[in-house]
């Protein structure tokens, strides 16, 4: 009996072939820095916020004071930074260049519900707020 126990294979001696596991993943999008460096961009100030814009881009900005309609052109005079891939100009505090844009849409965002509630006192107030915005298309960076 002792000889039979010694000849039996142990658990470490038995090796099963492992199946090869391959993960299928979608190919990652590769950004091409050469294409991005060719386009000109600028950093403008509108409504107290800074926006990085390029020609042909549409952005939503805060409402501009004054009487404006859709299709009107607007000039952003506060340009903080301007670059085109090779040359970068930084204003101290502003540059003398400007950005031309066309107002494509005047609208308001979705309703934000504001609720004031105090327990045990039957106090409940609810009202909504819709923030106005302008959607502008950048035409040129001068």
Q: Is the CB of residue 78 less than 8 Å from the CB of residue 71?
A: no
Sheet holding 79-83, edge to edge: 49-54, 41-46, 79-83, 88-95
Q: How far is CA 42 from CA 19, 87, 94, in A?
A: 54, 12, 12
Q: What is the pLDDT of residue 14?
A: 60
The DSSP code for 31 is: -
> With a threshold of 0.85, does the pTM exceed it?
no
pLDDT per residue rounded down to tens, the chain (142 residues): 555 555 555 555 566 667 666 666 666 655 554 454 468 899 999 999 999 999 999 999 999 999 999 999 999 999 999 998 889 999 999 999 999 999 999 999 999 999 999 999 999 999 999 999 999 999 999 8
CA distance 124 to 118: 7
Q: What is the pLDDT of residue 117?
A: 97
Predicted confidence (pLDDT) per residue in 29-42, tens digit = 555 544 544 688 99
């Amino acid at each position: 009996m002792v000889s039979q126990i010694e000849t039996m294979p142990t658990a470490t001696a038995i090796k099963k072939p492992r199946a090869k596991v391959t993960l299928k993943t979608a190919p990652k999008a590769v950004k091409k820095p050469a294409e991005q460096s060719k386009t000109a961009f600028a950093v403008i100030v509108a409504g107290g916020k800074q926006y990085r814009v390029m020609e042909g881009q549409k952005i939503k900005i805060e409402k501009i004071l004054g009487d404006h309609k859709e299709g009107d052109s607007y000039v952003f005079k506060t340009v903080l930074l301007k670059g085109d891939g090779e040359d970068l100009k930084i204003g101290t505090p502003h540059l003398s260049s400007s950005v031309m844009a066309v107002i494509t849409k005047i609208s308001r965002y979705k309703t934000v519900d504001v609720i004031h509630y105090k327990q045990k006192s039957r106090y409940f107030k609810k009202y909504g707020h819709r923030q106005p915005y302008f959607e502008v298309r950048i035409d040129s960076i001068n």
